[in-house]
Amino acid sequence: MNGSHCCGACRPTGRRVAGIAGSVLPGAALVLMPKCPACVAAYVAAASGLSVSLPVAEWLRTGSILLCALSISVVVATTVRRHFIRKEK
């Protein structure tokens, strides 16, 4: 056998874990995202020891939210695409 699986349904454990993490981590990040820029600035200061201004903290917060939303939409689009490909077969 050349290493491929018979039906493609069996995936290696690493890919399975990466798929689960790819769908859970962006949602968890959105839930845990601070709501105010001052809290973002405090988290950055606590994590790195660097202080950031409130406009930079607001930019970081907005960018993080957009990145999480983009990640979630990619996971949803991939899942929907796989679902429709399986139905066609």
Instruction: Quick: pLDDT tens for 25-45.
Output: 888 888 888 889 999 999 999
Burial of residue 48 (CB within 10 Å: 0-12, 13-18, 19+) is exposed
Residue range 59-72, pLDDT digits in tens: 999 999 999 999 88
Mean pLDDT for the stretch of residues 43-66: 93
Please report, in angstroms and rounded to a whole number, the separation of the first and last CA atoms in the chain. Answer: 23
pTM: 0.67
> Domain boundaries in the chain?
13-88
Residue 6 pLDDT greater than 70, yes or no: no
**Where are the alpha helices (H) located in 5-53, listed in sequence order?**
13-32, 37-48
Phi, psi of 2 (to 5 degrees): -95, 15
